[in-house]
Amino acid sequence: MTKSLNAIAQKLMSPGQGILAADESEGTIAKRFAKINLPNSLDLRRDYREMLFRSTEAMTKYISGVILTEETLEQSAADGTTFRAILADADCIPGIKVDRGAFPMPGDSGEKITEGLDGLRQRLVRYAELGAGFAKWRAVITINDVAPTRNNIRANAHALARYAILCQEAGIVPIVEPEVVGDGDPGNHSLERSAQVTGEVLENVFKELRLAGVDLSGMLLKPNMVLPGVNSRDRPGVEEVARRTVDVLKQHVPAAVPGIAFLSGGQTDEEATAHLSAMNQIAYKPWPLTFSYGRALQNVALRTWAGRRENFPAAQAAFTHRAHMNSLAALGEWSNEADRAAA
């Protein structure tokens, strides 16, 4: 069991490859579609994901796994081919988002707690039967004048650990995603504060993972990068973000973890790519670093598709370009010039 979990994790971290996060919940995909004036219909969700998964070059060369929703895991393309078959043809591992979303934490700290543990053991059996090789659970950590509270960090870390051990029991690799979100106000969410909170969160997460008996060699970590909040006056350069992020990870993430796949967290496409590449240029890291981006892989492709199947080729070209650039970043070989030239 341990060996196969580690083998799946290693395959997801294949050099020059990363993970496509296509697990937008109904509410989130509705927001993405609304920005391009599209309704959130079943057919449009299917078409959009079909466009992505049938981007053959991107999926075969640059994407090792895709995080799906429950709907997509069981869905088929317009011609009746299951998405699972399309991903299998591209040698991509299907993954599944298993949390039920982040809900307001009791109290008035403005924090969230992720739900979805009830019945998870049974759901995981079904996801494994459907071929899911890995899963994802996202905890949301808020920074404001009173948050994060110790109570919220512990509750989210505990839920992540309970999720992770249940996944491993079902033969599924858990991706553990504690996200320190970046919409704190300027006074509270400096680069320094981001580093301190990210470190504290990771420390608690690994403490709970160990207590739960999670095999660290059979999981992946999906963290935020160390960044100031979107409204902060701090404007660190690419190298500084990379250095601070790797420093925090080195202090809190055990070397036994087979890989780290970052979320993009609202960065521009180029920022997310540049930061990943700069981190991969830093020597002496115990784990490979890659991407598990949602928005930073999909932004341009979504706008180019615009809800029309005749736009598939152009949207697929846009997606393939972004996936290629992030593949170079996963190898530490990306440059702005190469990005513009290839675009």
Query: Taking the C-alpha atoms of 223, 85, 30 and 136 in order, what is their torsion angle to the nearest 10 degrees?
Result: -20
Q: Which residue has the tokens 């202090």?
A: 251
Q: Tell me the backbone φ, ψ of residue 225, rounded to 5 degrees.
A: -85, 160
Asked whether position 294 contacts ligand 5MM by CB under 6 A, the answer is yes
Whether 270 is catalytic is no
Q: Please choose, out of 19-27, 141-149, 151-159, 225-233, the segment that lies near ligand 5MM by the rule CB under 6 A.
A: 19-27
Q: How many residues bind ligand 5MM (CB under 6 A)?
A: 16
Q: Tell me the backbone φ, ψ of residue 138, rounded to 5 degrees.
A: -110, 125
Asked whether position 295 contacts ligand 5MM by CB under 6 A, the answer is yes
Number of Cβ within a 10 Å radius of residue 281: 13
Quick one: which of 28, 81, 109, 188 contacts ligand 5MM (CB under 6 A)?
28
Asked whether position 153 contacts ligand 5MM by CB under 6 A, the answer is no
Report the residue number, 42 or 283, with the smaller CB distance to ligand 5MM: 42
Report the residue number, 71 or 313, with the smaller CB distance to ligand 5MM: 71
Asked whether position 65 contacts ligand 5MM by CB under 6 A, the answer is no
Q: Tell me the backbone φ, ψ of residue 104, rounded to 5 degrees.
A: -55, 135
Asked whether position 21 contacts ligand 5MM by CB under 6 A, the answer is yes
- Residue 100 CA to residue 118 CA, distance in Å, equals 10
Tokens at residue 5, please? 């979990």
Asked whether position 265 contacts ligand 5MM by CB under 6 A, the answer is yes
CB of 292 to ligand 5MM, least distance (A): 6
Asked whether position 24 contacts ligand 5MM by CB under 6 A, the answer is yes
Chain centroid to Cα 257, Å, comes to 16
For residues 114 and 156, the answer to whether their CB atoms sit within 8 Å is: yes
Q: Please choose, out of 8-16, 237-245, 251-259, 291-299, the segment that lies near ligand 5MM by the rule CB under 6 A.
A: 291-299
Quick one: which of 263, 318, 323, 325 contacts ligand 5MM (CB under 6 A)?
263
Asked whether position 23 contacts ligand 5MM by CB under 6 A, the answer is yes
Query: Taking the C-alpha atoms of 245, 247, 253 and 255 in order, what is their torsion angle to the nearest 10 degrees?
Result: 120
Asked whether position 114 contacts ligand 5MM by CB under 6 A, the answer is no
For residue 67, give the nearest of 312, 316, 319, 293 by alpha carbon: 293
Q: Write down the catalytic residue from 50, 177, 179, 200.
A: 177
Asked whether position 264 contacts ligand 5MM by CB under 6 A, the answer is yes
Asked whether position 75 contacts ligand 5MM by CB under 6 A, the answer is no
DSSP letter, residue 268: -
Asked whether position 269 contacts ligand 5MM by CB under 6 A, the answer is no
Q: Please choose, out of 127-135, 187-195, 257-265, 304-312, the segment that lies near ligand 5MM by the rule CB under 6 A.
A: 257-265
CB of 145 to ligand 5MM, least distance (A): 24
- Residue 343 CA to residue 340 CA, distance in Å, equals 5
For residue 110, give the nearest of 150, 159, 152 by alpha carbon: 152
For residue 149, give the nearest of 219, 200, 217 by alpha carbon: 200
- Report, as residue numbers or ranges, the catalytic residues: 177, 222
**List of residues contacting ligand 5MM (CB under 6 A):** 21, 23-25, 28, 67, 101, 138, 179, 263-265, 293-296
